[in-house]
Structure formats: C-alpha cells, structure tokens
Amino acid sequence: MKIHLNDALGFAAEQDQNKTNTDLQYDSLTSREKECIYWLFNGKTVPEIALILNASKRTIEKHIISIKNKFACYTLFQLGNSANPIRHKILQFYKQQEQIPKQKVVRLDDVSIDED
C-alpha cells in the first residue's frame, strides 16, 4: 500500500484546519479576553464587566473588539454562536485554575454619577 506525499500533506492540513476552528482560536485569546468572554457568556454587559474586572469600559470594549476579530464576527450574537464550541474550554480553564472570577458587588449607594 503506497501513500502519496500529497495525500499525507492533505490529511495533515485537514487536521490542522479542524484544530484551527476551536483550539487555535481558544489559544489565541489572552487571559483578559478569556475573562471578558467568560462574563459575556454569563450575560454581563460591558459596564458590568468593567466593574467586575476593575477596568474602564473602553478597555473592555477593545478586548471584545479583539475577540470579535479573532472569531471573524461583527456582532455579539455572531460571537456567541462562533465562540460556543470553546465555552466548555473557558469554564474548564477557570475550574482548573480555581480562578472563576468573583463578581464584584457594587451597591448603588457607593456609585456616584457626575452630571455635566
């Protein structure tokens, strides 16, 4: 039985392409992007994520833009569908690290709104 080099290369490329769809996309996320997508999966908004992660809203927006670019998505709805295969990996990552982000409790009495 002969195996041609082209067949072997095609098989290897196909395996890499399958890995690209989930594993490589997950691996391309930074730890901060993983935190952001974790909270997006849990239904949090950008301002809520900013409070939880102690970051500015603009920083969180930039992380989400970066995540959308990595998954070739334009909307959060598309991102939810595209990133759904890695949802279990993100949850597993935090369980392994025992670092499931703790939600910051903010009382409305502690928040001041500046009106210009």
User: What are the DSSP calls for 14-68, one per residue?
Assistant: HHHHHHIIIIIHHHHS-HHHHHHHHHHHTT--HHHHHHHHT--HHHHHHHHHHHH
Residues 100 and 35: beta-carbon distance below 8 Å: no
Per-residue pLDDT averaged across 10-21, rounded? Answer: 53
* Owner of token pair 């391309």: 28
pLDDT (tens digit per residue) in 45-65: 999 999 999 999 999 999 999
The reported pLDDT for the residue numbered 103 is 56
Q: Comparing 16-25, 29-38, 85-94, 106-115, which segment has the lowest mean pLDDT?
A: 106-115
pLDDT above 70 covers a percentage of the chain that reads 62
The reported pLDDT for the residue numbered 106 is 57
Domains of the chain: 10-99 (1.10.10.10)
8 pLDDT tier (thresholds 50, 70, 90): very low
The reported pLDDT for the residue numbered 111 is 52
